[in-house]
């Protein structure tokens, strides 16, 4: 079930959460004040892009369900949060720090707040883990994982193969050597791990907290291009002519460097 949920989290089109908000006056909704958001078990919901700062009275995330916070939201205050077993809050990758405050609630075993960096592509470098300020006031926690790993570096381009060689003609032309394969390009660097500031009461059980703040692994280097093949010698009426020799292989690109690890700063109040 958990594997199936992970696949759903990655590929299923995201549903808007607007219908989950309680009825409010138009001015209140424009200010980012919402009512109750409820995510059913084994489902995914994304908060709407209503405001940079968003306040919710009550949030319930069912077992193996996920609530996604869009990039546009940088401040989220939840009056009451309930996360069932293996529930997840996912934060969109971005460069700006996000602040999440929870006044009261309960986080069941396997709860996750995930803010990893984006994986690098041929067009975009790997992203850093999202910087996060998390303030938990009167919140009962069975276990909580904070994941702000850096994104995996972009892969390098594969080298092109060399062209095939060509034997000389019987009456004119010299043999052509096969082309050399191109070298693969180096992989991109991994993203840095995020920096998390955790604000909790003095009696908060830190032993129930786990973190993943490693820098992203560097991207794999591109593969070497293959050498151009040799051409067989041509047999003419009286004599044979030189064959086109094979080219040389390119070199594999180097793997990218790993990103630097993030950090956790615990502040008790």
Q: What is the pLDDT of residue 28?
A: 33
What would the pLDDT profile of 131-173 be if each residue is shown by its tens digit? 999 999 999 999 999 999 999 999 999 999 988 877 665 555 5
List of E strands, 108-200: 111-114, 132-141, 144-147, 195-200
Q: Using CA atoms, how far apart are residues 114 and 68, in angstroms rounded to an integer?
A: 9
What would the pLDDT profile of 81-128 be if each residue is shown by its tens digit? 999 999 999 999 999 999 999 999 999 999 999 999 999 999 999 999
Q: Using CA atoms, how far apart are residues 267 and 134, in angstroms rounded to an integer?
A: 10
Choice between 249 and 26, residue whose per-residue pLDDT is larger:
249
Q: What is the pTM of this model?
A: 0.78
Q: Where are the domains of the chain?
A: 2-154+189-220+257-268
What would the pLDDT profile of 167-222 be if each residue is shown by its tens digit? 665 555 566 777 899 999 999 999 999 999 999 999 999 999 999 999 999 999 99
**Tokens 């006031």 identify what position?**
137
């Amino acid at each position: 079930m958990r594997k199936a949920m992970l696949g759903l989290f990655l590929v299923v089109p995201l549903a808007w959460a607007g219908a989950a908000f309680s009825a409010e006056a138009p001015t209140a909704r424009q200010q980012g004040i919402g009512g109750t958001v409820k995510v059913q078990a084994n489902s995914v919901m994304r908060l709407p892009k209503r405001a940079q700062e968003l306040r919710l009275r009550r949030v319930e995330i069912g077992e193996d369900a996920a609530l996604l916070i869009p990039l546009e939201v940088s401040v989220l205050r939840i009056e009451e949060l309930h996360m069932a077993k293996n529930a997840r809050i996912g934060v969109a990758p971005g460069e700006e720090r996000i602040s999440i405050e929870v006044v009261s609630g309960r986080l069941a075993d396997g709860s996750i707040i995930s803010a990893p960096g984006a994986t690098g592509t041929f067009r975009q470098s790997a992203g850093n883990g999202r910087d996060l300020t998390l303030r938990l006031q009167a919140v009962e926690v069975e276990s909580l994982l904070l994941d702000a790993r850096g994104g995996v570096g972009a892969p390098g381009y594969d080298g092109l193969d060399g062209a095939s060689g060509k034997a000389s003609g019987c009456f004119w032309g010299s043999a052509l050597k096969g082309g050399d394969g191109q070298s693969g390009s180096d992989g991109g660097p991994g993203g840095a791990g995020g920096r998390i500031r955790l604000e909790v009461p003095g009696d908060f059980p830190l032993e129930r907290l786990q973190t993943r703040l490693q820098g992203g692994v560097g991207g794999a280097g591109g593969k070497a291009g293959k050498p151009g093949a040799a051409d067989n010698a041509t047999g003419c009426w009286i004599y044979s002519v030189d064959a086109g020799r094979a080219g040389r292989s390119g070199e594999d690109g180097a793997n990218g460097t790993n990103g630097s690890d993030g950090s956790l700063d615990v502040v008790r109040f």
